[in-house]
């Protein structure tokens, strides 16, 4: 079990090890170098886990395979990085299902509103047949290799600068930033909001300048992006579950010798289990921390939200198909 104290200590050790590992890496020129892009900040659990993967792969491969981690949108927003990993200009990328849905629509099924009751349930679904179907869709349509174990982004919450979300009618006309993907836009329109798709790289500025007045993301993103500086109200809705699927450019991955493929795959999959626990710890601790930072926090009765989504569920069932929808409902119960 990993407690919060060990998580913080592990994070510090990760950063402290960077200079040492750079020195060791200088002893050998890698045979292969993979660039890994993602959108989260340096203190987010995803980046911390990616750095650990980098270090473990360097050790296990004897320096033959080097990973370079590029977080905080330095290679562009999520849509740009997805295009880059598909073209091969970067070799690894980690994004959530809504971004991948622009290429492989089935990946967006994780964003079906209020489908999941807790993290354990969500992970059972995505470790099972539905997750396998999503990975197959990504690989066949995106030119990717999707690693088997999803990493965790977590349940998403709504924040606003204007008023708390207490009742479903509080969504009416709300100018809310969403990721640039259809299922998010459709769900928030059904709830009565006015969604605006914006990449995470532009989110803070859009909130600061009131292009939008609200956004939705897991607690760890609220903290690492410092959204508490431009948002006053935090409404705990748990309205969507969000994974991070780690993918590789298929041609780049297949260019590796078999032993390096195995090292990369096994390390990423093993780190997923650590990442899941640490992200859960991080998200669980942050509601109170964000309140202490000045955010006004309320917990939402979401039953009326689900009722209002009846037509949305019917539409999404048609979009995803009866087979995928049945796999989802087998894990979470009927959605209507």
Least reliable range by pLDDT among 6-15, 161-170, 247-256, 290-299? 6-15
pLDDT of 22 reads: 47
pLDDT of 5 reads: 58
What is the tens place of the pLDDT at every residue in 180-215? 999 999 999 999 999 999 999 999 999 999 999 999
pLDDT bucket at 336, cuts 50 / 70 / 90: confident
How many angstroms separate the Cα of 138 from the Cα of each of 56, 58, 116? 26, 27, 22
pLDDT of 14 reads: 54
Terminal-residue alpha carbon distance, the chain: 37
pLDDT of 132 reads: 98
**Contact at 8 Å (CB) between 4 and 281?**
yes
**Contact at 8 Å (CB) between 46 and 13?**
no
The structural domains of the chain, with segments of one domain joined by +, span 4-152+243-282, 157-239+290-332
Exposure pattern of 280-311 as b/e (b: 16+ CB <10 Å)? Answer: bbbbebbbeebeeeebeeeebebeebbebbee
- How far apart are the C-alpha atoms of 184 and 191, rounded to whole Å? 11
pLDDT of 19 reads: 44
CATH topology of domain 157-239+290-332: D-Maltodextrin-Binding Protein; domain 2 (3.40.190)
pLDDT at 126 over 50: yes
Instruction: Supply the pTM of this predicted model.
Output: 0.89
pLDDT of 170 reads: 98
Position with higher pLDDT, 83 vs 17: 83
Counting Cα atoms < 13 Å in the Cβ hemisphere of 182 gives 14
pLDDT at 12 over 80: no
Average pLDDT in the chain: 93
**CA angle (235, 164, 300) in 5-degree steps:** 40
pLDDT of 28 reads: 80
pLDDT bucket at 250, cuts 50 / 70 / 90: very high
Least reliable range by pLDDT among 54-63, 81-90, 153-162, 277-286? 277-286
The mean pLDDT of 161-167, rounded to a whole number, is: 98
pLDDT at 69 over 70: yes
pLDDT at 263 over 60: yes
pLDDT bucket at 319, cuts 50 / 70 / 90: very high
pLDDT of 228 reads: 97
pLDDT bucket at 78, cuts 50 / 70 / 90: very high
pLDDT at 51 over 90: yes
pLDDT at 20 over 60: no
* Domains 4-152+243-282 and 157-239+290-332 are alike in CATH topology: yes
The mean pLDDT of 21-31, rounded to a whole number, is: 65
What 164-168 contacts at long range (C-beta under 8 Å, 24+ apart), as own/partner pairs, is 164/233, 164/235, 164/296, 164/298, 165/233, 165/235, 165/237, 165/298, 165/300, 166/235, 166/298, 166/300, 167/304, 168/192, 168/304, 168/305, 168/308
pLDDT of 1 reads: 45
The CATH homologous superfamily for domain 4-152+243-282 is Bacterial extracellular solute-binding protein, family 7 (3.40.190.170)
- How far apart are the C-alpha atoms of 217 and 165, rounded to whole Å? 14
The mean pLDDT of 54-64, rounded to a whole number, is: 98
pLDDT at 172 over 80: yes
């Amino acid at each position: 079990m990993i407690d919060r104290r060990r998580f913080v200590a592990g994070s510090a050790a990760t950063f402290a090890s960077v200079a040492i590992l750079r020195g060791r890496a200088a002893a050998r020129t890698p045979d292969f170098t993979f660039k890994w892009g993602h959108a989260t900040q340096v203190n987010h659990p995803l980046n911390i886990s990616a750095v650990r993967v980098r270090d473990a792969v360097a050790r296990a491969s004897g320096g033959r395979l080097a990973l370079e981690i590029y977080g905080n949108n330095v290679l562009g927003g999520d849509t740009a990085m997805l295009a880059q990993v598909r073209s091969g200009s970067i070799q690894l990328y980690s994004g959530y299902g809504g971004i991948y849905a622009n290429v492989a629509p089935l990946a967006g099924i994780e964003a079906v509103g209020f489908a999941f009751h807790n993290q354990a349930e969500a992970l059972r679904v995505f470790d099972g047949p539905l997750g396998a179907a999503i990975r197959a869709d990504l690989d066949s349509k995106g030119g990717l290799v999707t690693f088997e174990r999803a990493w965790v982004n977590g349940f998403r919450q709504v924040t606003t600068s204007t008023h708390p979300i207490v009742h479903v009618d509080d969504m009416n006309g709300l100018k809310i930033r969403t990721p640039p993907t259809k299922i998010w836009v459709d769900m928030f329109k059904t709830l009565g909001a006015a969604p605006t798709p914006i990449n995470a790289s532009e989110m803070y500025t859009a909130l600061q300048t009131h292009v939008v007045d609200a956004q939705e993301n897991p607690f760890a993103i609220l903290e690492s992006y410092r959204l508490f500086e431009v948002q006053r109200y935090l409404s705990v809705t748990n309205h969507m579950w969000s994974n991070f699927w780690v993918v590789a450019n298929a041609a780049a991955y297949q260019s590796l010798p078999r032993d390096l493929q195995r090292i990369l795959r096994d390390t990423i999959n093993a780190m997923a289990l650590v990442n899941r626990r640490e992200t859960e710890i991080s998200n669980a601790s942050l509601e109170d921390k964000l309140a202490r930072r000045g955010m006004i926090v309320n917990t939402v009765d979401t039953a009326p939200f689900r009722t209002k989504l009846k037509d949305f569920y019917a539409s999404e069932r048609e979009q995803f198909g009866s087979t995928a929808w049945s796999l989802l409902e087998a894990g979470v119960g009927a959605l209507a």
